[in-house]
Structure 1
């Protein structure tokens, strides 16, 4: 009488190669992305805006690379990364810098920092590079040129020269629209991240490292960061999850909007009650923050939403600090006045053009993206083999 083998006896897939065979070549792939992203020039005056929880090896890596390029580095540290505006005593150091590396929350939105970039200051935001060990991940070694091409292929799907609606739907009943004018479209897509720039070699640039986070399918770059301008939007989102919640929601929770502001939250669960307390009156500032790195983990949404292609986060600025966030994430990289709602299966259209279909970023199959991917390996493996 024969007995079936146990599950552990079945071998139908190859075993992972020993790290001794792969780790060196993988590390040098990631290191090449690192050195080209931090595109220091001889004579650059680099300022790191840091916080005490940043891995000191990250600071050492930046300083060592800068020294190799003939640049100098100074470090200014705040008690945490939740800085909401530039401290007055720091401004002289910012003024003197030609290149800024920052962990601070206000990096993208502070008017002073925006003005410095308009004067040519180059920036790298390192929300996703707080630990040097991240250099040993798949997302760190994914070709940054390919991320740029995926981003540009998505931008090409925005209608040009005509008004259109950016529409978000999903199987839970989400139906949310943001109205674009041709000027809004041109303003937003002119930013360096939408042009697929992943290295900080262009005067006035702002890039993320690790290269994965954003750009947003809509944000206030569409109105040149003039927060007094109102963007027409409305509808309901049924997010699957939110940053700060241990697991996806068991209940179908509806977040309703009246223009840019949350008008009500429907649902009976404790999660719905928490969201209702936090969100009502809050303002949408990121409409569909999208991931563009196919090797970013799909189901890791901390600290600011999954960066896997087609996964979306919707950033809401709150009316007041949320006690729930202060209790559950006291060391979060963002202040407790912000909530990121997450969907992993949305469909997004820009006019008649499909950007995302059921959580799949359509640009991954764009002919120019596939053609470029062939330079680095098997396009299916690079573009569609997700890291869960």
Structure 2
């Protein structure tokens, strides 16, 4: 007769337990080789340099030399010999004058420099057709052998397109952000703002640098932003109606999620107040007041680690990072991240459990990106494997 005494069902003490309830990681060489080549397929497609083109590498000394060798080797295999400019740091906030003539002559640019996306000179080069790959998330060649590196880039693109389709068409609407901590942030969108923002190659689900003016990230994890200044054609003088309060869970440069509740108050496109008490309250007030939300990033790669927020916010689907440009360099950032990939005039605040409404249509509910269950996304995922595993088994 089976032992039905309650003690038979009591869990063993954690420190005494020995056993295994989940499969061990794959270590068979044939399995690992196959996974490696899945990632290589993404790698070769994203870095779409073509024979006869001029390629420029904007690098920094802390970039893994094997990353440079891998990308340069791919270029040379296509008959392209890259030029390289080495800056002392990734924290280049504007394109140096001495580099501009080289950049003007390039067809294809690979960059680790911060200024790549925001510098007006770089934007102008893309408008004339120059193609860019930003490698913030590919600073170590070992990252090639991670689940996020081999997650199919076409599937990332389908997830992004399904999200874009949820933005209301031909009407004004609010992006509305809430969460269990009390966040209540509104960003007023016009129909024109939607058109400007969603016209980019990434919002169209194009993950490779193969069309004129392309700007993509590698690893293929940092998707387009739910809101950024492209929505107003990068007009720095225009005041966007960003109003409300955000209670972030965490911030880049802070060792663990916030134990206290800090309210970041926005009024007419600027941070006017940081509420709350605790060890970081004064630091956040000094850092953030006066700052502007320049990007509100969302993760789109289901195999990006959920709780890994360094260097620029989680890239897991539905995780948000509020990218804020500061009015002055933060001494706190300079102390704790002196060699951060981004300069001390920027801060990413992170939330994992937000709900985001575009008008009356949900984009994200309780941290879950709704596009992951769209029929077109599930159908495409099924071509590559188990759709639930690919889309909803998120690494921590």
**Counterpart for residue 149 of structure 2:** 140
2-side partners of 1:219 and 1:329: how far apart? 25
Query: TM-score scaled by structure 2?
Result: 0.96
In the alignment, is the contact (CA less than 8 A) between 1:317 and 1:339 conserved in 2? yes
Residue from 93, 98, 101 that aligns with 2:102: 93
Structure 2 residue 335 is the aligned partner of structure 1 residue 327: yes
2-side partners of 1:128 and 1:170: how far apart? 28
2-side partners of 1:334 and 1:5: how far apart? 46
Matches within 5 A, 1:166-205: 166-205=175-214
Matches within 5 A, 1:115-264: 115-264=124-273
- Could you tell me how far 1:308 is from its partner in structure 2? 0.2
In the alignment, is the contact (CA less than 8 A) between 1:240 and 1:342 conserved in 2? yes
2-side partners of 1:79 and 1:352: how far apart? 47
- 1:43/1:356 CA distance change after superposition, 3 Å: same
In the alignment, is the contact (CA less than 8 A) between 2:26 and 2:32 conserved in 1? no
**Counterpart for residue 371 of structure 2:** 363
1-side partners of 2:17 and 2:283: how far apart? 43
1-side partners of 2:203 and 2:261: how far apart? 33
2-side partners of 1:163 and 1:234: how far apart? 16
**Counterpart for residue 316 of structure 1:** 324
* Residue aligned with 1:303, SS: coil
1-side partners of 2:149 and 2:27: how far apart? 19
Any unmatched runs of 5+ in structure 1?
Answer: none
2-side partners of 1:315 and 1:14: how far apart? 38
Deviations for 1:3-39, whole angstroms, at most 9, x for unmatched residues? 9877543333222232424211111000110000001
**Counterpart for residue 305 of structure 1:** 313
* Residue aligned with 1:72, SS: coil
In the alignment, is the contact (CA less than 8 A) between 2:149 and 2:220 conserved in 1? yes
**Counterpart for residue 69 of structure 2:** 60
In the alignment, is the contact (CA less than 8 A) between 1:261 and 1:284 conserved in 2? yes
Deviations for 1:206-247, whole angstroms, at most 9, x for unmatched residues? 000001112110001101111111211100000000000000
1-side partners of 2:309 and 2:62: how far apart? 19
- Could you tell me how far 1:273 is from its partner in structure 2? 1.5
Query: TM-score scaled by structure 1?
Result: 0.98
In the alignment, is the contact (CA less than 8 A) between 2:59 and 2:113 conserved in 1? yes
**Counterpart for residue 342 of structure 1:** 350
Structure 2 residue 300 is the aligned partner of structure 1 residue 289: no
Structure 2 residue 113 is the aligned partner of structure 1 residue 104: yes
**Counterpart for residue 361 of structure 2:** 353
Residue from 376, 384, 391 that aligns with 1:376: 384
* Residue aligned with 1:383, SS: helix
In the alignment, is the contact (CA less than 8 A) between 2:318 and 2:369 conserved in 1? yes
2-side partners of 1:354 and 1:84: how far apart? 35
Deviations for 1:23-76, whole angstroms, at most 9, x for unmatched residues? 111110001100000011111111000111000101100110001111120100
**Counterpart for residue 18 of structure 1:** 27
* Residue aligned with 1:278, SS: helix
Deviations for 1:153-179, whole angstroms, at most 9, x for unmatched residues? 000000000100000000000000000
Deviations for 1:314-372, whole angstroms, at most 9, x for unmatched residues? 01111110000001001101110011110000000000000000000000001000000
* Residue aligned with 1:89, SS: coil
2-side partners of 1:24 and 1:67: how far apart? 24
